[in-house]
Amino acid sequence: MKLLRVGAVGEERPALVDADGTLRDLSGVVPDISAALLAEDGGLARVRAAADGGGLPVLAAGDADAEVRIGAPLTGIGKVVCIGLNYHDHAAETGAEPPAEPVIFFKAADTVVGPNDTVLVPRGSKKTDWEVELAIVIGRTARYLPSHEEALAHIAGYAVSNDVSEREFQIERGGTWDKGKNCETFNPLGPWFVTADEVPDPQALALRTWVNGALKQDGSTADQIFPVAEIVRYVSQYMTLYPGDVINTGTPAGVAMGQPEPKPYLRAGDVVELEIGGLGRQRQVFGQA
């Protein structure tokens, strides 16, 4: 299923995109697409039964390509766990050694915005960067998972994420990476939350980014240093993962930081478009904070 939330900020309603690409209203079935829904026994099964049964109303806005705001596909996110330097080609372009274990940092849940919302370049920023990433959405409480099979069983689905970063704040200003990752609007998510059954192999997904129409990133999750199952298993050894938690799994080569001088960092007015095969496409016009 492709689940999403549509409407003005704070007024989103739950919806799905059916096999014909039509936007269907789920507000008569569930109150929202939320962490609480994922935690509920049979919550997603109830949505699936309603979808399979037919009769879900078409949203007044029309089909999924209509001009309607799409919000983040999930609400009630507890935490956003991020994995750094997780593609061989990205580690190479930054001059870093591939890590022996996953590099973990965090984004606050309040950085998450809709996939096409305006992203704000922070005040004083000189090095705002793009990063297309596969996001994992956790569906079951996970702690000390023993195997990759168990890890995959705890995944509810996947989404497109833009792990927007300010490289000077992240790397050159001391301390941890977090202050270069947690500026407002720095995690567009969506358009859809795609349930795991529609992604049979998360290590075979194409990721692409365009900036002002020019292709910048063209990679595959096959190049991940630590695959999806290992990321979930590993992270569960160090923290409890709850339904609705999100894990950003790293970005392939092609970010601004890895390009020749002068590096094409983002400014207000730039347009960034991102997509992952089968998971949808984002488009952000950058503004100034």
Q: What is the mean pLDDT of residues 87-98?
A: 90
What does the pLDDT read at residue 67? 73
List domains and CATH numbers for the chain: 2-53 (no CATH), 80-288 (3.90.850.10)
Q: What is the mean pLDDT of residues 41-49?
A: 96
Q: Predicted confidence band at 176 (pLDDT cuts at 50, 70, 90)?
A: confident
H or E stretch including 44? helix 43-53
What does the pLDDT read at residue 180? 96
Instruction: Name residue 24's beta-bridge partners.
Output: 16, 58
pLDDT at 266 over 90: yes
Question: Percentage of the chain surpassing pLDDT 90?
Answer: 92
Parallel, antiparallel or unpaired: strands 80-84 and 246-248: parallel
If you ran DSSP here, which 8-state letter would residue 17 be given? E
pLDDT tens-digit map of 237-263: 999 999 999 999 999 999 999 999 999
CA 227 and chain centroid, separation: 16
What does the pLDDT read at residue 62? 43
Q: What is the mean pLDDT of residues 112-139?
A: 98
pLDDT at 157 over 50: yes
Is residue 75 within 8 A of residue 137, CB to CB? The reply is no
Q: What is the mean pLDDT of residues 135-142?
A: 98
CA 263 and chain centroid, separation: 25
Whether the model clears a pTM of 0.75, i.e. scores above it, the answer is yes
Distance CA 27, CA 14 (A): 6
Distance CA 189, CA 115 (A): 5
Q: What is the mean pLDDT of residues 55-62?
A: 78
What does the pLDDT read at residue 61? 52
What is the average pLDDT value for the chain, to the nearest integer?
A: 95
Q: What is the mean pLDDT of residues 206-211?
A: 98
Least Cα distance to 14 among 63, 47, 49 occurs for 47
What does the pLDDT read at residue 68? 87
- Four-CA torsion 212, 216, 219, 225, nearest 10 degrees: -120
Cα angle, residue 97 at apex, residues 229 and 179 outer, rounded to 5°? 75
If you ran DSSP here, which 8-state letter would residue 255 be given? -
Q: Predicted confidence band at 60 (pLDDT cuts at 50, 70, 90)?
A: low
Q: What is the mean pLDDT of residues 222-231?
A: 98
Distance CA 81, CA 79 (A): 6
pLDDT at 35 over 60: yes
pLDDT at 65 over 60: no
What does the pLDDT read at residue 64? 46
DSSP SS3 for 85: coil
